[in-house]
């Protein structure tokens, strides 16, 4: 994997993912991956608007 970081401060790395749909984080929980955060295109993060068209 190219990029991973501890985004939630629990001491374990999460994996950021993106697609034409939007963005998300994947986290290993036991033997599975969960998605604790997902946001579709058009989501606002404060003043920033997620628009995958430009990524």
Helices and strands of the chain, counted as H and E runs: 0, 5
This prediction has a pTM of 0.74
Mean pLDDT of the chain: 89
Give the Cα separation of 22 and 53 in Å (integer).
10
Instruction: Provide the percentage of residues in the chain whose pLDDT is more than 90.
Output: 64
- Per-residue pLDDT tens over the stretch 12-34: 899 999 998 999 999 998 899 99
* Closest among 8, 42, 54 to 28, alpha carbons compared: 8
Q: Is 46 left (phi over 0), alpha (psi -120 to 50) or beta?
A: left
Counting residues of the chain whose pLDDT is more than 70, the rounded percentage is 89
């Amino acid at each position: 994997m190219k990029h991973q970081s501890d985004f939630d401060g629990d001491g374990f790395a999460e994996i950021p993912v993106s697609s034409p749909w939007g963005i998300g984080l994947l986290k290993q929980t036991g033997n599975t991956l969960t998605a604790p955060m997902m946001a579709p295109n058009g989501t606002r993060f404060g003043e920033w608007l997620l628009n995958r068209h430009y990524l």
